[in-house]
Structure 1
Amino acid sequence: MPRRILTVCKGGYCRAPLAAAVLAKLGGPAVETRAAAVRDWHIGEGAHPTMIEVAGERGYDLTGHRGVQIDPDLLAWADVILAMDSAVLAALRELTDDDTSAKLRLYLDGQDVPDPWKQPREAFAACVASVESGADRHLGAA
């Protein structure tokens, strides 16, 4: 059975869909990924157009993403829940019980994945590089 990884960011529009795509591609059949948001800002929407474009240039397909908000079913589904920044991690801790909170991790070790929202294209490229740099940390145990 593949390892189930849930990636979570604030709006589910940039970082979480990217991280889910990166982990799915690099992890292959050993992982299954989903992306979600702690806020309800982009429910049902695709990923940010610039993120789709920049990620596509690196070989990651975000075109099928549709935003969903975190819910108990997603939390239960995941073997590990990766927060893209410390504020998202804190919000997730508010939503979880003791069993589920044991699944929570910060995507990067001790630092936030920079949010490219409302930033220039270069910030999206930097976000992709940051997510790629942290992927092995989560795939090694897959």
Structure 2
Amino acid sequence: MKRVLFVCLGNICRSPMAEAVMRHLVEKKGLSDQIKVDSAATSSWHIGEPPHKGTKAKLKEFGISTSGMKGRQLDKEDFETFDYIIGMDNSNVSNIRQMLGQPDHPKIFRFLDLTDHKKDVPDPYYTGDFQETYELVVDGCEALLNKILKEK
């Protein structure tokens, strides 16, 4: 079983979008019993809240569910639980490393470093561009799934 955790600042836009897209891809490939996906925040701002309305609307366009998803904050146990802890931007990666006390562990990395984009996923909470975020998230999730399947 491989476990994936996506992390952003508030856990209402980018990381839940990545969680939902990755779950959708995993289900389509019949791998739900082999890959588990979750998301978390580096901040405590939106604990218990559902994904942002923009995230939900964009995912709904593509038939991707956010059912049961609620914001939560990253905690130290996540380092032991997850095989991949993925920050949506460099700031998230830095905060994850600091919060988990892991200054340089390979299981913690920036999401789009697995793609040709090699950049941060912009936060649509501030940009308002949920389409751009969605497209980058799909690319990142496909790259991550390929990485996981190659490592099996």
TM-score greater than 0.5 by the shorter chain: yes
Report the equivalent of 2:105: 101
Give the C-alpha shift of residue 97 in structure 1. Answer: 3.8
Report the equivalent of 1:23: 22
Amino acid at match of 2:10: G
Aligned 8 A contact 1:7 1:84 in 2: yes
TM-score (norm. length: structure 1): 0.90
Report the equivalent of 1:59: 63
Post-superposition CA distance 1:59-106 (Å, at most 9, x none): 221132110000012222101001000000011111234598331011
Aligned 8 A contact 1:38 1:92 in 2: yes
Amino acid at match of 2:145: L
Aligned 8 A contact 2:15 2:88 in 1: yes
Match of 1:112 among 111, 114, 120: 120
Indicate whether 1:86 and 2:90 are aligned: yes
Alignment of 1:35-54 (within 5 A): 35-54=39-58
Amino acid at match of 1:127: T
Amino acid at match of 2:57: E
> Identity over the aligned pairs, expressed in percent?
32
Indicate whether 1:138 and 2:144 are aligned: yes
After superposing the two structures, state which structure 1 stretch, 63-72 or 97-106, moved more. Answer: 97-106
Report the equivalent of 1:6: 5
After superposing the two structures, state which structure 1 stretch, 92-101 or 7-16, moved more. Answer: 92-101
- Segments of structure 2 that go 5 or more residues without pairing to the other structure are none
Task: Give the Cα separation in 1 of the matches to 2:23 and 2:85.
Answer: 14
1:80/1:100 CA distance change after superposition, 3 Å: farther
Q: CA RMSD in A?
A: 1.7
Give the C-alpha shift of residue 8 in structure 1. Answer: 0.1
1:90/1:39 CA distance change after superposition, 3 Å: same
Give the C-alpha shift of residue 58 in structure 1. Answer: 1.4
TM-score (norm. length: structure 2): 0.84
Query: Number of aligned pairs?
Result: 139
Task: Give the Cα separation in 2 of the matches to 1:48 and 1:98.
Answer: 29
